[in-house]
Amino acid sequence: MKFAVIVFPGSNCDLDMYHAIKDELGEEVDYVWHDQTDLSDYDGILLPGGFAYGDYLRCGAISRFSNVMSEVIKAAEAGKPVLGVCNGFQVLTEAGLLPGALLRNKNLKFMCRTVDLKIVNNETLFTSKYVKDEVIQIPIAHGEGNYYCDEETLASLKENNQIVFTYASENPNGSMEDIAGIINEKGNVLGMMPHPERAANDIMGGSDGLALFKSIVKQWRESHVSHA
């Protein structure tokens, strides 16, 4: 399986994501600059954390107009797995690939620490290697991770089982319903504030995030290699 790590001016977790895929997962991966106009060679698209275009105006608001985003949307519509972490999650909401928005943390401070994360939905291509209601430890690092949506959207997320992760034991940013990650209705676009790529090896302080990437590869191999 071949992954693309999208790099915007200001991305700063692209190296972490690349390392997790290449060295910990053992899969092919390339850095793909924001002005590229072809993602057809890639099986999975990863939008890392950082400060895309400096996050001026609003997080993700400028990056959504990058050339590569039309290709990310095309890949999502084709059913390819698309993962946005932290700033990547913000970009996905701004691009309309996921509903809702990420607001300033309730304490208006940037936070960087490891939190408990509950697996609410393990029946996705991103979470099949986890157990439902399992609690894992994943780092966060954000100033605008307070997930918000209107009541109608929240009801739809619940009805369609689109809430994938919630914060357990504490809600660090004030997000609605403790939401830490959601998936699109089709099930192939996931946005999450915690950083699984920073929990891919025990030497990093934990490896609970690696199962997310293994889940993606497992689904891809089952749907592609086994039918080749």
Catalytically annotated residues: 86, 195, 197
Could you identify the residue written with the tokens 């092919």?
28
The CA–CA distances, whole Å, from 185 to 22, 34, 157, 161, 182 equal 29, 26, 8, 8, 9
The dihedrals phi and psi of 198, each to the nearest 5 degrees, come to -95, 10
Sign for the CA dihedral angle at 66, 110, 13, 120 comes to negative
Closest CA to 91 of 79, 106, 76, 111: 76
The CA–CA distances, whole Å, from 158 to 69, 176, 190 equal 27, 12, 15
Contact 145, 172 (CB under 8 A): yes
The CA–CA distances, whole Å, from 211 to 63, 65, 177, 204 equal 28, 32, 24, 15
Contact 190, 82 (CB under 8 A): yes
Integer Cα distance of 61 and 63 in angstroms: 6
CA atoms within 13 A on the CB side of 124: 32
